[in-house]
């Protein structure tokens, strides 16, 4: 819920938006029947992240997935390892992972407005999805 949304619009422009707290606003952003690429939450996040944080993350992701399905969206879950595979960034070489992702998103999409730490992941997941199924 603290992330963001990257929307590919019919005119092939991209709209970035932080995840709204009000789901009515989300419904206004995303029309019925879209394809949604949603990051798949790992079942275990590591020793340094408390189980309460993992539970909250899983609950939020499940809620968003259910909301999408209820709105007749096609939901495709993509693991972080899958969408991050082609980025050329290694976690070991990056002291600030989120900033590295934002820098890569900015490099790939310099014309897209509204890029923040919240929306960088979403834009890179969109980039991954576009590489799977090229635009018409």
Q: What is the token pair recorded at 28?
A: 């206004």
Residues 19 and 63 sit within 8 Å (Cβ to Cβ)? no
pLDDT digits (tens, 9 = 90+) for 62-81: 778 888 888 888 999 988 88
Residue 60: exposure state from Cβ atoms within 10 A (0-12, 13-18, ≥19)? middle
Residues 61 and 41 sit within 8 Å (Cβ to Cβ)? yes
pLDDT digits (tens, 9 = 90+) for 16-58: 998 888 778 878 888 888 888 888 876 666 666 666 666 666 6
What phi and psi, each to the nearest 5 degrees, are found at residue 89?
A: -115, 135
Q: Looking at the predicted structure, is the pLDDT value of residue 136 above 50?
A: no
Structural domains in the chain, sorted by start: 4-132 (3.30.420)
CA-CA distance, 136 to 123, in Å (whole number)? Answer: 19
> What does pTM read for this prediction?
0.81
């Amino acid at each position: 819920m603290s992330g963001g949304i990257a929307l590919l619009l019919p005119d092939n422009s991209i709209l970035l938006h932080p995840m709204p707290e009000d789901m009515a606003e989300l419904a206004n952003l995303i029309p019925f029947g879209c394809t949604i690429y949603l990051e798949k939450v790992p079942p275990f996040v590591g020793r340094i992240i408390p189980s309460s944080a993992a539970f909250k993350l899983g609950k939020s992701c499940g809620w968003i997935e259910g909301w999408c399905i209820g709105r007749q969206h096609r939901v495709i879950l993509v693991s972080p390892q899958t969408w991050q595979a082609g980025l050329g960034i290694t976690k070991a070489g990056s002291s600030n992972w989120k900033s590295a992702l934002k820098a890569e998103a900015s490099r790939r999409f310099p014309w897209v407005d509204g890029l923040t730490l919240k929306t960088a992941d979403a834009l890179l997941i969109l980039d991954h999805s576009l590489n799977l199924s090229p635009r018409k």
